[in-house]
């Protein structure tokens, strides 16, 4: 019997705002995903390591501190360097529209901005992970 897709939800950097990311984590869990929330103040190295240790299918990053242009691409680079380039990386938070194409070019597959519904996130993940086999 196939298992659930495993999603890491993380707050990189010094950002202390976690209400939204907890809502996302609960919504993903309610939608049938296995969710691991890493908590606040995670380094990109910690996030990449957790993603690999937990054999996650995807990692969602949330940032409201303005450090997304450094932190998000660093997670992608670390995952690639550690042989986990197949992990789907997505993000959200207070991210200027002009930064979104740069983040996508750096390997973040989707950025959800304020106002995105949890349903949109769930639908996108279901679509993107539909061909990804789970053991």
pLDDT tens for each residue of 6-15: 999 999 998 8
Q: CATH number of the domain that 76 lies in?
A: 3.40.50.280
Any domain includes 135: no
% of the chain with per-residue pLDDT over 90: 88
For the entire predicted model, the pTM comes to: 0.93
Any domain includes 1: no
| Structure token pair of residue 56 | 């996650």
Domain membership of residue 74 as a residue range: 6-129
| Winning range, highest mean pLDDT, from 3-7, 13-17, 80-84 | 80-84
User: Residue 92 forms beta bridges with which residues?
Assistant: 62, 112
Residue 4: DSSP 8-state: P
Amino acid 131: pLDDT: 76
């Amino acid at each position: 019997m196939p298992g659930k897709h495993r999603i890491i939800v993380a707050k990189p950097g010094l950002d202390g705002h976690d209400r939204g990311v907890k809502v996302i984590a609960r919504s993903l869990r309610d939608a049938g995903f296995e969710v691991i929330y890493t908590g606040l103040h995670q380094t990109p190295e910690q996030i990449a390591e957790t993603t690999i240790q937990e054999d996650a299918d995807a990692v969602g990053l949330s940032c409201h501190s303005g450090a997304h242009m450094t932190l998000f691409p660093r997670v992608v680079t670390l995952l690639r360097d550690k042989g986990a380039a197949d992990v789907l990386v997505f993000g959200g938070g207070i991210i200027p529209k002009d930064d979104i194409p740069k983040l996508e070019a750096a390997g973040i597959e989707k950025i959800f901005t304020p106002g995105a519904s949890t349903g949109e996130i769930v639908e996108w993940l279901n679509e993107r992970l539909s061909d990804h086999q789970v053991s």
